[in-house]
């Protein structure tokens, strides 16, 4: 029997893994459950992803890319005049107000790195990528602190079922960002 050419199969498997984790949590993620969800033979999942850690790594990397793209798409990071704390707080609000399952899924995969060392480099990639996006507007140390604060705010909202408070987030973020130097006063005409 001839093999069917299916260049999208790997991506369909990753997407299926994300849906399985979204519905059943990490405990429900198996090669078999993903194969069924992706409507591919079981051998396809193990061909593309030898271990479940490999599959989770691909799913986490995809989730991370979406997060960073959404932040970059707001445009505030490239606009030196944009109020960074306000923009970041608004972005967090939009992200947390979106598909709650998707947000929870991203954090579930992210936190899986606590028990699965193979996921730690991908979790670190996310923090490094976010800090790199923020560093041009501040400095590398402050950028890392902003990432940690945003991460903490998101976790608090998710874990405590507390509504997101955009003003609190804006104020907290503003405390970490050094004020922009004021332009020098214009010289008085003679």
For residue 49, the SS3 value is coil
Q: Is 50 helix (H, G, I), strand (E, B) or coil?
A: coil
Q: Which CATH class is domain 9-50?
A: mainly alpha
Residue 100: predicted pLDDT: 72
Contacts of 64 (CB under 8 A, 6+ apart): 106, 122, 125, 126, 129
Return residue ranges of the chain for CATH 1.10.357.10: 53-176
Residue 163, pLDDT score: 92
- Among the listed residues 189, 61, 187, the one whose alpha carbon sits nearest the alpha carbon of residue 118: 61
Residues present in the chain in total: 190
Of 1.10.357.10, 3.30.530.20, 1.20.1260.10, 1.10.1740.10, which CATH number belongs to 53-176? 1.10.357.10
pLDDT in tens, the chain (190 residues): 445 667 799 999 999 998 898 888 888 999 999 999 999 999 999 999 999 999 988 988 887 776 667 776 777 777 888 899 999 999 889 888 877 777 787 788 788 888 888 888 888 888 898 899 889 889 999 999 999 999 999 999 999 988 999 999 999 999 998 776 555 555 556 5
Please identify which residue in the block is written with the tokens 């480099």: 121
Residue 16 CA to residue 48 CA, distance in Å, equals 13
pTM above 0.75, yes or no: yes
- Say which residue the tokens 């405590």 belong to: 160
Residue tagged 């332009």 (tokens): 183
The two tokens of residue 171 are 């104020």
- In the chain, which segments carry CATH 1.10.10.60? 9-50
d(C-alpha 136, C-alpha 157), whole Å: 28
Do the Cβ atoms of 58 and 66 come closer than 8 Å?
no
Residue 166 structure tokens: 């955009």
């Amino acid at each position: 029997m001839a093999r069917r050419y299916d260049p999208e199969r790997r991506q369909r498997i990753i997407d299926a893994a994300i849906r399985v984790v979204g519905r059943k949590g990490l405990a429900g993620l198996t090669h078999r459950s993903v194969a069924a969800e992706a409507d591919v033979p079981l051998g396809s999942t193990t061909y593309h992803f030898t271990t479940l850690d490999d599959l989770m790594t691909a799913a986490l990397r995809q989730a991370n890319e979406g997060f960073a793209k959404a932040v970059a798409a707001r445009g505030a990071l490239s606009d030196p005049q944009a109020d960074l704390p306000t923009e970041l707080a608004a972005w967090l609000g939009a992200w947390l107000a979106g598909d709650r399952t998707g947000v929870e899924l991203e954090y579930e995969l992210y936190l899986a790195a606590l028990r699965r060392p193979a996921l730690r480099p991908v979790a670190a990639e996310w923090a490094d990528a976010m800090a790199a996006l923020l560093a041009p507007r501040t400095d590398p140390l402050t950028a890392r602190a902003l990432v940690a604060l945003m991460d903490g705010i998101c976790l608090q909202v998710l874990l405590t079922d507390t509504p997101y408070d955009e003003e609190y987030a804006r104020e907290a973020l503003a405390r970490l960002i050094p004020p922009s130097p004021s332009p020098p006063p214009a010289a008085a005409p003679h």
